[in-house]
Amino acid sequence: MTKQAKKSDTVEVGSQQNVLHLPALEIRQGPNRSLYTFAVDGKQVPSFAAVSRVRRDSQQQLHGYQRPEVLAHVAAIRRYVESAESPLLPNAIVVAFDDRVRFVPADAATDGPGYVRSGTLLVPVSDDWEDADKPGFIVDGQQRCAAIRDADVATFPICVTAFITADQADHRSQFILVNSTKPLPKGLIHELLPAASGPLPNQLRVRQLPATVLERLNFDERSPLRHMIQTPTNPTGVIKDNSMLRMLENSISDGVLYRFRGSDNALPNIGLMVTVLGDFWTAVREVFGEDAWGKPPRKSRLMHGAGIISMGYLMDAIADTNGSGEDVPDTQGFATGLKTIKDYCRWTEGTWDLGDGIPRRWNDVQNTPRDIQRITDFLISTYYAKQGKRHDRSSRLF
């Protein structure tokens, strides 16, 4: 390794900005991706890497991807670092760098496999930068970094694995992949999926389209569900995100939204999906009114998982009897269908008469497959009966 590659200090560049010279290994993965592994004093990490907190700006655009620090976890790690005789944190933190960071290969060739080479990673730092200005974001290891930052120790070297990309969607994808086997809140994963790119596990990939539609419903100004779906950046929403996702998945896989999901040669028409959903839920709001609309699930089962999912199936049924292809009912068309079943619904009071001889109080309905199926079958059977048609209980429900 050259003399330059052995340096681990900072050198002046201009009046305020410095550059860390960090001995590193470059490891090539695939034809055009590289990882960089290096050691650095954990106390220095905050000078070049920030935590990208998940949040939305005034235009409802998603920024960041990290959850808040878990203070108890941070405190436990800090106590270990401060009190242990020989503290050991062997796991590397993961950092995403932007393209201001450069890797300079060593001059001298070394024996070893062709996919690895040694050199120096050049990382700019500045005391004047805000977090958003720093070239790195912590993808994994924020609790360890926070503990070392606060620990009463002079230094604490750690291992870092890094990659360089200017695309924050790539940051989010790597964050999801790194944390998908850990107890990461599902709501955070769902909110990050629309803005993620690159390969994802199949169980996450199939949720990316529903999550994208959910985001539009929750944050578009004209959506009747604006700010009503509970997510990490919208914690006051009254509808659980997972309930809305299940409703969307059902319709995209075998309902009216299937018509707009695209094919191998065509992208999904998300705009038309959002239009159909906006028309339907606007009609729901108009037909059932303030008594049931927008209230917490404990006060209105319309906003409950059982209500959201069963109404999604009813949306599909109304669309099936009122057109095909892109010919879908508008708000008035959906409202006409909903009015035929309105008087049989018990979202906020009374008792459901589901036709099985077992009366159910409105607030006894639970978010279980059995209750969802019973409410769904009742709503669709009642709707078809009012249309003079027979409804065969569909095996596609569950």
> Beta strand 157-164 with 93-97: parallel, antiparallel or unpaired?
parallel
Q: How confident is the model at residue 57 (pLDDT cuts 50, 70, 90)?
A: low
Say whether both 155 and 208 belong to one domain.
no
| Residue 174 counted as domain residue | no
pLDDT tier, 165 (very low <50, low <70, confident <90, very high otherwise): confident
Please tell me the total count of domains within the chain. Answer: 2
Q: What is the dihedral of CA 333, 339, 340, 345, to 10 degrees?
A: 130
Q: Are residues 151 and 210 located together in one domain of the fold?
A: no
The residue with greater pLDDT, 194 or 366, is: 366
Position 328 in a domain: yes
In a domain, 374, yes or no: yes
Label residue 262 by pLDDT band (50, 70, 90).
confident
- Asked if residue 108 is part of any domain, the answer here is yes
Which pLDDT score, from 0 to 100, does residue 58 have?
58
- The listed range with the strongest mean pLDDT (165-169, 204-208, 300-304) is 300-304
Residues 206 and 88 in one domain: no
Per-residue pLDDT at 375: 95
Q: Domain check: are 208 and 301 in the same one? A: yes
119 and 220 housed in the same domain: no
Residue 237: inside a domain? yes
Strand extents, DSSP E, the chain: 10-13, 17-29, 33-41, 49-50, 55-56, 62-63, 93-97, 102-105, 116-126, 136-140, 157-164, 229-230, 239-240, 351-352, 360-361
**Are residues 206 and 162 part of one domain?**
no
Whether residue 73 contacts residue 143, with contact meaning beta carbons closer than 8 Å, is answered with yes
Alpha helices in 118-167 (DSSP H): 142-150
pTM: 0.60
- What is the arithmetic mean of pLDDT over 68-87? 78
Q: Which residue has the higher pLDDT, 84 or 214?
A: 214
Q: Quick one: average pLDDT of 382-392?
A: 83
Assess whether 139 and 236 both reside in one domain: no
The yes-or-no verdict on residue 306 having pLDDT over 90 is yes
pLDDT at 385 over 70: yes
- Domain co-membership, 19 together with 62: yes
pLDDT digits (tens, 9 = 90+) for 213-239: 999 999 999 999 999 999 888 889 999
Instruction: Decide if 172 is inside a domain.
Output: no
Percent over 90 (pLDDT), the chain: 53
Which pLDDT band, with edges at 50, 70 and 90, does 398 fall under?
very low
* Predicted local confidence at residue 174, as pLDDT: 67
What is the band of 6 on the pLDDT scale with cuts at 50, 70, 90? very low
Q: For the chain, what percent of residues have pLDDT higher than 70?
A: 81
In the structure encoding, which two tokens stand for residue 341, read together? 């079943």
Whether residues 212 and 280 share a domain: the answer is: yes
Both 88 and 154 in one domain: the answer is yes
Q: Across residues 324-330, what is the average pLDDT?
A: 83
User: In terms of pLDDT, which residue wins out, 145 or 3?
Assistant: 145
Report whether 106 contacts 1 (CB < 8 A). Answer: yes
Query: Do 156 and 231 belong together in one domain?
Result: no
Q: Give the CA-trace dihedral at 280, 282, 284, 290, to 10 degrees.
A: 170
Residue 3: which pLDDT band, with cuts at 50, 70 and 90?
A: very low
Tell me the per-residue pLDDT of 85-118, one tens digit each, with 9 for 90 and over.
Answer: 788 899 899 898 988 999 999 976 667 788 899 9
Residue 73 lies in a domain: yes
Final residue in a domain of this structure, among 166, 187, 222: 166
What is the domain range of residue 145?
3-166
Please check whether residue 75 is in contact with residue 88, taking contact to mean a CB–CB distance below 8 angstroms.
no
Same domain, 112 and 238: no
pLDDT of residue 98: 87
In the numeric block, the tokens 């941070």 are attached to 74
Q: Is residue 185 part of a domain?
A: no
- Say if residues 249 and 214 touch (Cβ distance below 8 Å): no
Higher pLDDT, 15 or 375: 375
Q: In the predicted model, what is the mean pLDDT of the chain?
A: 84
pLDDT at residue 301, as a whole number: 97
